[in-house]
Amino acid sequence: MKVRVVVLCAVSALPWAWPAAAQRPGTIEVGGFARYTDFDNSLAYANKLGVGARIGVFLPARFAIEGDLSRTVTDGPTVHSIHHRPLHIMLEYNVPASDQADLVVGGGYVHNTYNSSADTTDSGITGLVGLRYRFRRLLAARLDLNEDFIWSAANKSYRQSYNGNLGLQVGVSVLVSFMK
C-alpha cells in the first residue's frame, strides 16, 4: 500500500517537474524562427519577412542569456535588395504562466547591419516580450515581440531622435539540459 501511494505521488508530480527541468541552470535553448520586421518610417524600407536562429543558456533564478541573429532582404526607395541583419544579445527573465508556458521578458544590446550598395551599421538597445510554450519536455514554440531603439542611426535622420525597428518572431526551439 505504501509503495503504491509513493509511486502514485511521484508519477503525479512528473508534469510539474518537467517544466522546472526545462529551465534548470545550464539548459540550452536552440531554435529557428521567422521574423517580420516593421522598419522605422525614416528608413523608408519595405516591411518584410526574414529568418533567424537563436541560442540561449538558462541561469539560476529563471534568468537566461540569449542571442539571436536574423536576416531580412528588403527594398528601399532608391536601393533594392537591402540585407538587414540584427544581432540581439539579451538578458531575459522567464515568468511561469502555466505548467507548459512561460512569459519571457528581456532587454539588451542590438547591432544592425544593412548591406546594399553602401554598407552601414548601427547599434542600440532592445526590449523583448514573448511566450514560450513547451509541447514536450524538449520541444517548445516561441512567439516574441521586440523593439530595437537606435539613437545614432545609420541613416542619420534629423527629423527624429532615434530609429525603432519592431520585430515579430515565431519559431520553434529545442531545450537540452546537460545537468542532472
Q: Where are the domains of the chain?
A: 2-176
CATH entry, 2-176, from 2.60.40.10, 2.40.160.20, 3.30.750.24, 3.90.550.10: 2.40.160.20
Task: Give the global pTM.
Answer: 0.82
Residue 18, pLDDT > 50, answer no
CA dist., res. 76 & res. 99, Å (int): 45
- 3-state DSSP of the chain: CHHHHHHHHHHHHHHHHHHHHHCCCCCEEEEEEEEEEECCHHHCCCCEEEEEEEEEEECCCCEEEEEEEEEEEECCCCCCCEEEEEEEEEEEEEEECCCCEEEEEEEEEEEEEEECCCCEEEEEEEEEEEEEEECCCCEEEEEEEEEEEECCCCCCCCCCCCEEEEEEEEEEEEEECCCC
pLDDT in tens, 37-92: 999 887 888 999 999 999 999 999 999 999 999 999 998 888 888 999 999 999 99
pLDDT in tens, 110-147: 999 988 766 888 899 999 999 999 998 899 999 999 99
Residue 101, pLDDT > 60, answer yes
Listed in sequence order, the residues at least 6 apart from 150 whose beta carbon sits closer than 8 Å to its beta carbon are: 40, 110, 112, 122, 123, 124, 162, 163, 164, 165
Per-residue pLDDT, 85 = 96
Which of 44, 131, 57 lies closest to 89, judged by CA? 57
